[in-house]
Copies of this chain bind each other. A is one copy, B any other.
């Protein structure tokens, strides 16, 4: 931000508000019409100001590490203050009472509250980088008219750049999200047998996520020829003895997501499919071998595709072989042939080599890694052969 010469960055989309502040506004995350903003000051990405609908004020982080310096609330919501004197309010209740006490008497909307928050951070003449994509139609014009002497520029590039390097707490959550997903799929397929439906597998997978505090994210579970559908949704198809079962996706854990892929199979899975599987696993391993801090993303891509081609799928093509991951599943960097990204210490990336042959099926290997000076530290590890299904 100091390089960009801005005084503050305003995050406006759910992902970036939560990134900046760890504040998860349930209204903002579930309704396009709801709004919340987080303002990060010049010297760090820690939130210094939050704009919140009063009805979500109970979700503002109350602990010292993430507590904002100030909150501007908007809209109406009825909280009844204690009817009897309370000796010991919990910190979250005390903070909620203080936000309610500071709520303005006059009704106002989110853009009025945001304008006030920007004034508190930068006065009337600051240079503010703002993420425009969370604003509603017309709000941009209104914000500029309320703050005619503020210089606004696009804040999204700054936020994307900051998000690409993870903090220790982000790394902890991402490691756990990947581990939960890998464990849950392993458990789900161990209990699955020919005659079960894809939905049976998905039910077991989602239930196993739940018991480890993960919520479903991006789940694609398919079987047989349907494994060629990259995002195929589990349905009533019954598993056959010769099937592979393809899983791609993961879970959300404390706002952060996982994205891994696995192939499970019964004993009669054909040798052609097993050969394809080994080819894509070789591709993933080749990518891992060259990836480390300082490596070019385009070189990682080339290593992956070349290895798959040499290992049994000579016609293999891909548009990307991986991506960063965080609160969103496509953080920087992008592992593409034309990417100019360079891997850096603290990035968390997914590497993947999926192959989708319509009518026949798909195979895929995808894992999540922390980038270090010496190479990659895996959060999950694809097995060299498909996971045996129905062993539980």
Interface: A228 (CB within 8 A): yes
Contact between B26 and A228 (Cβ–Cβ < 8 Å)?
no
Interface: A65 (CB within 8 A): no
Find chain B residues with CB under 8 A from A140 CB. 137
Interface: A239 (CB within 8 A): no
Interface: A357 (CB within 8 A): yes
Picked from B90, B217, B220, B233, the residue with its CB within 8 Å of the CB of A225 is: B90
Interface: A132 (CB within 8 A): yes
Interface: A7 (CB within 8 A): no
Contact between B230 and A213 (Cβ–Cβ < 8 Å)?
no
Q: How far is the CA of A83 from the CA of B15 in the complex (A)?
A: 41
Q: How far is the CA of A320 from the CA of B31 in the complex (A)?
A: 17
**Interface locus among A55-63, A282-290, A372-380:** A55-63
Find chain B residues with CB under 8 A from A207 CB. 206-207, 210-211
Contact between A356 and B86 (Cβ–Cβ < 8 Å)?
no
Interface: A136 (CB within 8 A): yes
Q: Which residues in chain A, 30-76, are within 8 Å of chain B measured between CB atoms?
A: 30-33, 55-56, 58-59, 76
Find chain B residues with CB under 8 A from A133 CB. 32-33, 136-137
Picked from B30, B220, B328, B329, the residue with its CB within 8 Å of the CB of A328 is: B30
Q: How far is the CA of A131 from the CA of B31 in the complex (A)?
A: 14
Q: Which residues in chain A, 141-161, are within 8 Å of chain B measured between CB atoms?
A: 154, 156
Interface size class of A (residues with CB under 8 A): 35 or more
Interface: A13 (CB within 8 A): yes
Interface: A295 (CB within 8 A): no
Picked from B56, B100, B218, the residue with its CB within 8 Å of the CB of A231 is: B56
Interface: A183 (CB within 8 A): no
Question: Which chain B residue lies CB-closest to A319?
Answer: B76
In the assembled complex, how far is the CB of residue A244 from the closest CB belonging to chain B, in whole angstroms? 16
Contact between B80 and A357 (Cβ–Cβ < 8 Å)?
yes
Contact between A356 and B80 (Cβ–Cβ < 8 Å)?
yes
Q: How far is the CA of A57 from the CA of B142 in the complex (A)?
A: 37
Interface: A194 (CB within 8 A): no
Q: Which residues in chain A, 301-321, are within 8 Å of chain B measured between CB atoms?
A: 315, 317-319
Question: Which chain B residue lies CB-closest to A313?
Answer: B80
Interface: A215 (CB within 8 A): yes
Contact between A356 and B32 (Cβ–Cβ < 8 Å)?
no
